[in-house]
Amino acid sequence: MRIVYLCQHFPPETGAPQIRVYEVSKELLAQGHDIQVVTAFPHHPHGIIPDEYKGKKYEFEKWDDIPVHRTWIYPSKKGSFWKRLISYFSFTFSSFFGLMKTGKVDVIIVNSPPIFLGLTGLIGAKLKGAKFVFNVADVWPESAVKLGLVKNKMFIKLAEILESFLYKHSWKIATATDGIKSYIINHSQPEEKVFVLPNGVNTKFFYPQEKNEEYVEKFGLQGKFVFAYGGNLGYAQGLEFILYAAKKMQETVPHAHFLIAGAGPEEEKLHKLKEELGLQNTTFLGHLPLKEMPKLFSVTDVSIVPLRDIQLFEGARPSKIFPAAASGVPVLYCGKGESAKIITENNIGLVAQPENVDSMSEKMFEFVEMKVNDRKAMEENGRRLAEDEYSWTTIVNDLLQNITQK
């Protein structure tokens, strides 16, 4: 099958969308399919295009044997929503050129957000006689509205019209979670048109390992019980509550230590809060490349996956859960809904109430005091769940089953 994946983000950038497209593309390639990726020049998270792409409008390359067509984007640094919107639109238009370079294809899969990219994919599919699969990882504009990122009523109305239009004209719709699937079905789309394409994990890359002594020495982790977070330092994660919980743990469990890896718009604010709270048990590692993440998990006793207390997030399934599970690291999920159910039903960790410092610190203390056999069971359950349900091979097989149906 000849497949094109159209997305704004792809390696060398790191993050859930980038990893998702890369892993799905690699698995499709391994199974003998003709896969091409159309994406933007690297620019995330710092809004800077690398020197080797500057001054160019288009570049073809192979990334780990995956054919990649890159086109220009207006890079948006940490700025207003409207600047990010200009960035979205710049790639929406430029990506059409890259899409036309892909030749004859059978299926075009488009990652949303940004939702506007769906227009490029839909028009491209019509011109190429291909099937259009809309891959919805986040409900937009609803998520942006509920996070307070956009308030202009006229813009919201236009975005909602575009959303409904793209749902209606998609051949199939893939969603990241059951919650998003239900949302789209409730927006007048037939159930047989919508399927779940969840976040997954490379179980050959993430697996239980011995403690990395370099990290133990570098961050002074000898004799420490380590809680770690790795990912975007954004508003949605509500990481300030983790720091407040770390303050309580500093007062009651001196050997508990917190590692926070990542970059994002809240980074400066979080550093400042750490200083204000006088946290001696918290270390910011900055942005870690993907290849370093197994080392981080090797020294981690509990992986923290937090979200804000927003109803929209009850249908979320953060990708951070699955590398931790595959690595045999129990998860502290600070949230409600779909992911909380995954954690508890599979016994791969504990669940705390979001934005609730007392609940978070209580669960942290419960982890510290947990019997060895109980922790071991969580570790083994996590690895088993990752292998059985969330490996990329399993997920791609489900994808192919859905897009090869008439």
| Range 136-141 average pLDDT | 80
pLDDT score recorded for residue 214: 95
Is 339 in contact with 316 (CB distance < 8 Å)?
Answer: yes
Residues 226 and 345 in one domain: yes
Is 118 in contact with 166 (CB distance < 8 Å)?
Answer: yes
Has residue 208 been placed in a domain? no
Residues 196 and 224 in one domain: no
Give, in degrees to the nearest 5, the angle at Cα 274 between 261 and 363.
Answer: 70
Residues 274 and 348 in one domain: yes
Q: State the pairing for strand pair 58-63/66-71.
A: antiparallel
Residues 369 and 320 in one domain: yes
C-alpha pair distances (Å), 31 with each of 25, 36, 75, 193: 10, 14, 35, 24
Residues 188 and 262 in one domain: no
pLDDT by residue (tens digit) across 210-224?
999 999 999 999 999
pLDDT by residue (tens digit) across 257-285?
999 999 888 999 999 999 999 999 999 99
- Beta-strand ranges (E) seen in 170-321 are 172-175, 194-196, 225-230, 256-261, 282-286, 302-306
> What is the DSSP secondary structure assignment for residue 286, as one 8-state letter?
E
Has residue 28 been placed in a domain? yes
pLDDT score recorded for residue 155: 81
Share of the chain above pLDDT 90, in %: 74
Separation between Cα atoms, residue 368 and residue 362, nearest integer Å: 10
Has residue 32 been placed in a domain? yes
Residue 138 structural domain: 2-200+391-403
Which tokens sit at 62? 């192979």
pLDDT by residue (tens digit) across 72-125?
998 876 656 677 778 888 999 999 999 999 999 999 999 998 889 999 999 999
Residues 89 and 224 in one domain: no
Could you tell me the pLDDT band of residue 19, with boundaries at 50, 70 and 90? Answer: confident
pLDDT score recorded for residue 311: 85
Residues 109 and 26 in one domain: yes
| Number of domains observed in the structure of the chain | 2
Residues 191 and 47 in one domain: yes
pLDDT by residue (tens digit) across 241-255?
999 999 999 999 999
Separation between Cα atoms, residue 178 and residue 318, nearest integer Å: 13
Residues 30 and 100 in one domain: yes
pLDDT score recorded for residue 141: 66
Has residue 277 been placed in a domain? yes
Residues 233 and 374 in one domain: yes
318: left (phi over 0), alpha (psi -120 to 50) or beta: beta
CB neighbourhood size of 398 (10 A): 15
CATH number, residue 304? 3.40.50.2000
Residues 192 and 227 in one domain: no
Residues 177 and 264 in one domain: no
Has residue 207 been placed in a domain? no
